[in-house]
Amino acid sequence: MLQSDLFKSANQYATLEEALNAIRGLKDDPLANAGTNIVISRGNPEAKLLIIGEAPGPEENIKGKPFVGRAGQLLDKILEAANFNPETDVYITNSVFRLPPGDDGKAFRKPTDAEIEFYRPYVFEIVRLIDPRIILLTGNVACQSVLKKTGITSLRGQWTQSGERWIMPIFHPSYLLRNPSREPGSPKAQMWEDIREVRRKYDELIGK
């Protein structure tokens, strides 16, 4: 499906470093008083493959980088299985840049609509400044942030073209950890189908 450029209105900062510094300095965001750290990105800012996650988890909150816990380790393995180097071929960021603290004894919770809305302009600014050709949205929060849609089981594996960028929702790796079956039709099997299609599209657009 072709859409006009989803990101064209985001134009606030001259450089990526300027945008990252602005995010690091946020004091008015809805999670500013939550006692958690800003977690923005990791990887190669020159990469043409951008992955947008949901929000930091407890380990990400400690280490200050997205996808460094069990889900992140699985994501790296998935990328490597498709011959992507997670350090050089990929840039990874979040939809929400602080861990939303949980209640009822839980370490964290899903971001609220208001939290997703607040951080969206910053996410879009990262996209504009990185200028990737392919964007992967991991899970419903990332889909809500970028596409303003949810329903990952129906959205996953489907391309949306926005200008020269190609966007695909995929399952969040934490969902795969909760559903470890590799049987045909399982989430893991579907993820493998999706990442192979991403590899094919990457080779088509950028070259091997």
Query: What's the CATH code of the domain at 182?
Result: 3.40.470.10
Q: Is residue 56 a part of any domain in this protein?
A: yes
Q: CB within 8 A of 63, min separation 6: which ones?
A: none
What pTM did the predictor assign?
0.93
The answer to whether 100 and 34 are in contact (CB under 8 A) is yes
Domains of the chain: total: 1
Give, for all 208 residues of the chain, the pLDDT tens digit: 555 567 765 568 999 999 999 999 999 999 998 888 999 999 999 999 999 999 998 999 999 999 999 999 999 999 999 999 999 999 999 999 999 987 765 667 889 999 999 999 999 999 999 999 999 999 999 999 999 999 999 999 999 999 999 999 999 999 999 988 888 889 999 999 999 999 999 999 997 6
Q: What is the pLDDT of residue 35?
A: 84
Residue 137 within a domain? yes
Residue 208 covered by a domain: no
Tell me phi and psi for residue 108, to 5 degrees: -160, 170
- Residue 141 sits in which domain range? 2-203
